[in-house]
């Protein structure tokens, strides 16, 4: 139903635009029949994890796409980061952006390495190489760049600093699988790069991740680390963890790879539709991509400048949620405002002006194969309508009790589980 009056907005008592919520991270599902056939093979083979054929096949395909000699598949991106950090021998302090998903910082802190938060470049929104040197201390052992939303870091400048200051260089490429930079696949920069294949990533393995590298020694070490450090039965040569990718995840990965081009095509179509329908709204900018490179377009991110729109990103965010558009503030607040970092470095924000600014302005919109052109047009109409009525809407919203959006409930479905016979026979 088109909104004609302010009171038509769901946040002010009107009917929500969408009865079925639109998510940012609704998974892309490839060929279901092919996936189920692979799962059936796994069960027949009775090889469910630890070096199974699908895991090996998936690793081979990921390394090809990343342009690297090695891909080490893991059970998620966070564990991939953790073993890469450990495998590279990082200790003490590591320089990392705060404008990222909290896993980037946690993967360091988990190993008692201090994440030293560096500000971002306001244009790329990635770690600002110009600010890195001022943060290097005798304890610094490395830099982690994050290719945020799939847009590449300044790999040339970062490599130059890392080499000159004798630091390791790792990339969190969780958002950048399938992308290129300077005509070279992302995955092949720095000492190693890490991908996430979480359900909400454009290419998913249900849960999963990978470290990619050209370094043979590092790759061998990471293979041991992901499997408790075992080199053979009963022989452990390394401290390790359990970061293995199971066969069902690998089967999902291979199936997803078969549809990767189609997923990217749909993301690109969606991105262009958003660009088209939001064109001309003063104060709203859609984050652009370098179209001469290969991009996965998995995040559609707006920057909403309230000095121009007269309505804040958060007010639009809450109003969209009421309509069933579950936009996300990726990434708000910066990691420095989350615990434990907030307590460790209470004044970190003073050194992170661009992170503070951008984290207050960005809004990720639903995309992927679960979102169609009609839905995108309706989302854009809502945003346009809200901004056209910014003064009255902002005024009305400021009178409502403030509330944090709830985490959406997992859709409830009834699962038919046969009841167990009673343990004790009834008399």
- The correct pick among 28, 104, 188, 259 for binding ligand T4K (CB under 6 A) is 104
The residue within the footprint of ligand T4K, chosen from 68, 100, 180, 369 (CB under 6 A), is 100
30 interacts with ligand T4K by CB under 6 A: no
Minimum distance, C-beta of residue 419 to ligand T4K, in the bound complex (Å): 28
Least Å from the CB of residue 261 to ligand T4K: 22
Q: Is 23 in the site for ligand T4K (CB under 6 A)?
A: yes
Which is closer to ligand T4K, CB of 99 or CB of 271?
Answer: 99
Choose which of 95, 143, 146, 302 interacts with ligand T4K (CB under 6 A): 146
Q: Which of 331, 385 has the CB closer to ligand T4K?
A: 331
Cis bond before residue 420 (omega within 30° of 0): no
Instruction: Return the number of the residue (25 or 324) whose C-beta is nearest ligand T4K.
Output: 25
Given 28, 68, 76, 270, the residue binding ligand T4K (CB under 6 A): 76
Residue 124 structure tokens: 């790329």
d(CA 177, CA 264): 11
174 vs 355, which CB is nearer to ligand T4K?
A: 174
Taking CB under 6 A as the criterion, the residue among 58, 101, 289, 385 binding ligand T4K is 101
Residue 327 CA, chain-centre distance (Å), reads 14
Least separation, in Å, of the C-beta of 18 and ligand T4K?
14
Q: Which of 345, 422, 324, 320 is nearest to 114 (CA)?
A: 345
Peptide bond into 333 cis (omega under 30): yes
Using the rule CB under 6 A, which residue among 54, 58, 117, 330 binds ligand T4K? 330
Rg for the chain, CA atoms, rounded: 23
**Shortest distance in whole angstroms from residue 100 CB to ligand T4K:** 5
CA angle (68 as vertex; 62, 71 as ends), nearest 5: 45
Of residues 12 and 199, the one with the C-beta less far from ligand T4K: 199
Q: Among 30, 55, 70, 77, which residue sits at the site for ligand T4K (rule: CB under 6 A)?
A: 77
**Sheet arrangement for strand 93-97:** 70-74, 209-213, 192-196, 168-172, 140-146, 93-97, 114-118
Closer of 41 and 303 to ligand T4K (Cβ): 303
Write down the residue that tokens 């304890």 correspond to.
139
Helices 53-66 and 247-258: angle between axes, nearest 10 degrees: 40
User: Can you tell me the distance from the alpha carbon of 104 to that of 62, in angstroms, rounded to the nearest whole number?
Assistant: 21
DSSP bridge pairs for 72 = 211
What number of chain residues touch ligand T4K (CB under 6 A)?
A: 24
Query: Applying CB under 6 A, which of residues 28, 140, 155, 174 lies at the interface with ligand T4K?
Result: 174
Distance, in Å, from the CA atom of 266 to the CA atom of 80, rounded to the nearest integer, reads: 28
Number of Cβ within a 10 Å radius of residue 1: 9
How far is residue 284's CA from residue 382's CA, in Å, rounded to a whole number?
A: 13
81: left (phi over 0), alpha (psi -120 to 50) or beta: alpha
Residue nearer to ligand T4K on the CB measure, 373 or 408: 408
Nearest CB to ligand T4K, comparing residues 103 and 219: 103
Query: Do residues 382 and 17 lie in contact, with contact meaning Cβ atoms separated by under 8 Å?
Result: yes
CB of 101 to ligand T4K, least distance (A): 3
Q: Interface residues for ligand T4K in 185-214 (CB under 6 A)?
A: 196, 198-200, 209
Give the footprint of ligand T4K on this chain (CB under 6 A).
23-27, 76-78, 100-101, 103-104, 146, 172, 174-175, 196, 198-200, 209, 326, 330, 408
């Amino acid at each position: 139903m088109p909104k004609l009056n302010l009171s038509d907005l769901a946040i002010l008592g009107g009917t929500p635009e969408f009865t079925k919520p639109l998510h940012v991270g609704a998974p892309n599902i490839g060929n279901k029949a092919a996936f189920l056939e692979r799962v059936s093979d796994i069960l027949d083979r009775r090889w469910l994890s630890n070096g199974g054929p699908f895991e090996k096949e998936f690793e081979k395909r990921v390394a090809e796409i990343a342009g690297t000699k090695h891909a080490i598949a893991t059970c998620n991106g966070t564990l991939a980061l953790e073993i890469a950090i450990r495998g590279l021998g990082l200790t003490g302090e590591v320089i990392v952006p705060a404008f990222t998903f909290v896993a980037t910082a946690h993967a360091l802190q988990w190993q008692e390495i201090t994440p030293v938060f560096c500000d971002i470049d306001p244009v790329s929104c990635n770690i600002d190489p110009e600010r890195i040197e001022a943060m290097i201390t005798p304890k610094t052992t490395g830099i982690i760049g994050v290719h945020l939303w799939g847009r590449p870091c300044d790999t040339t400048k970062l490599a130059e600093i890392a080499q000159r200051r004798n630091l390791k260089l790792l990339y969190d490429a969780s958002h950048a699988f399938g992308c290129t930079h300077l005509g070279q696949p992302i995955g092949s920069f720095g000492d190693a790069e890490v991908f996430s294949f979480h359900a909400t990533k454009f290419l998913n393995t249900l849960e999963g991740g990978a470290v990619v590298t050209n370094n043979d020694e590092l790759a061998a070490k990471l293979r041991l680390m992901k499997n408790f450090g075992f080199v053979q039965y009963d022989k452990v040569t390394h401290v390790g963890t359990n970061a293995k990718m199971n066969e069902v995840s690998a089967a999902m990965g291979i199936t997803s790879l078969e549809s990767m081009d189609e997923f990217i095509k749909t993301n690109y179509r969606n991105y262009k539709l958003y660009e088209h329908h939001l064109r001309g709204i003063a104060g709203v900018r859609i984050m652009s991509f370098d179209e001469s490179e290969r991009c996965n377009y998995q995040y559609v991110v707006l920057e909403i400048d309230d000095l121009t729109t007269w309505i804040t990103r958060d007010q639009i965010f809450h109003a969209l949620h009421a309509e069933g558009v579950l936009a996300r503030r990726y990434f708000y607040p910066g990691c420095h405002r989350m615990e434990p970092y907030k307590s460790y470095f209470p004044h970190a924000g003073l050194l992170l002006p661009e992170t503070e600014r951008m984290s207050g302005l960005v809004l990720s919109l639903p995309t992927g194969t679960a979102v169609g052109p009609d839905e995108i047009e309706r989302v854009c109409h809502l945003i346009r309508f809200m901004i056209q009525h910014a003064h009255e809407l902002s005024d009305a919203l400021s009178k409502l009790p403030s509330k944090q959006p709830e985490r959406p409930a997992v859709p409830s479905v009834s699962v038919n589980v046969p009841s167990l016979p009673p343990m004790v026979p009834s008399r």
